[in-house]
Amino acid sequence: MKYYVGIDLGGTNIVAGVVDEEYNIVAKASTKTNCPRPEKEIADDMAKMAIQAVENANLTMEQIEWIGIGTPGIANSETGIIEYSNNLGFKDTPMVEYIRETIDKPVFIENDANAAAYGEFVAGAAKGAKNAVCITLGTGVGGGIIVEGKIYSGSNFAGAEIGHTVIEVDGAQCSCGRKGCFEAYSSATGLIRMTNEAIAEHPDSLMAEMAKSAKVTARTSFDAMRDGDKYAKEIVDKYIKYLAAGITNTINIFQPDVLCIGGGVCNEGDALLIPVKEIVMKEVYTRNSEKNAEIVIAKLGNDAGIIGAAFLGRANG
């Protein structure tokens, strides 16, 4: 049996996992990222978590084939440098070099959304596809694109920023500096913003009542809708309309075999997926084709990034 280490570097946590050749996570180790702090300290903790995960798996580093890292930002897979990550405060960080100072193994890096997409491609909802796109609905909208079995990251390693395509010209402000981005409307953050706006406009609504006793989350409007709040239904319908628009645009550009959506919002299941599919199938350019992209919910959850990172040696092979 062959073993690999995948590291999911996030703004909150560093998680390392040992993954076997059948895509099973054998053991994990994690610590807080504790940003902002010097990049070398973060790299040292990543190496420590990799070593700890291997020990937790009752293995030795000699049994590990390679280490893969999924990181926010622009990760140059050729040079091993994280060129920029606003979430981590990284600029031209020689991450592969840092890790190899502690661990003498091949090390690969990739953008975290790309790594998660590759995880779904090799072991999750997009397994068996030739071309796939994965969209993650979290604090932002992450994107990962697989073309002919390879991660597509563009000529400057910044490809697949699907969240920063505009779906509402001069719309809501996005953190990237543009207005009306897919991310501004279809992220969990965007849904929360729209829910709060509706609560302010309808203080007698069930959503407003719920907000008095609990923090507004991406679930609030869905929960209130299920309990009969018509204003909540308006917000859910608006959210689904924007999400379907972004998905339709993505399918029209890439025409993947599979488009999978992940993130906490997808816990709504059919309440989200069924109406999104209905809209997309009415609007997608190839709606009259015999074969259209299959839209599915991602399967691997938070493990997608670890599994995808663990197999970056294959993706870069």
| Interval 223-236: pLDDT, tens | 999 999 999 999 99
Residues near 310 by beta carbon (within 8 Å), at least 6 away in sequence: 4, 5, 6, 17, 18, 19, 68
Q: Where are the beta strands (DSSP E) in 63-157?
A: 64-71, 74-76, 81-85, 90-93, 107-111, 132-137, 141-147, 150-151
pLDDT of res. 317: 59
Say whether both 114 and 219 belong to one domain.
no
The total of structural domains in the chain comes to: 2
Say whether both 202 and 233 belong to one domain.
yes
Say whether both 155 and 272 belong to one domain.
yes
Say whether both 232 and 178 belong to one domain.
yes
As a whole number, the mean pLDDT across the chain is 94
pLDDT of res. 35: 87
State the Cα–Cα distance between residues 233 and 223, nearest whole angstrom: 10
H or E element in which residue 27 lies:
strand 25-32
C-alpha distance from residue 221 to each of 184, 189, 237, 273, 298 (Å)? 17, 13, 10, 16, 22
Q: Domain containing 240: what range?
A: 129-297
How confident is the model over 81-132, as pLDDT tens digits? 999 987 788 999 999 999 999 999 999 999 999 999 999 999 999 999 999 9
Shortest CA distance to 15 belongs to which of 317, 314, 316, 304?
304
H or E element in which residue 29 lies:
strand 25-32
Contact 87, 25 (CB under 8 A): no
pLDDT < 70 regions, the chain: 316-317
pLDDT of res. 146: 95
pLDDT of res. 290: 83
State the Cα–Cα distance between residues 55 and 64, nearest whole angstrom: 11
Q: State the CATH number of the domain containing residue 162.
A: 3.30.420.40
pTM summary value: 0.90
Say whether both 114 and 146 belong to one domain.
no
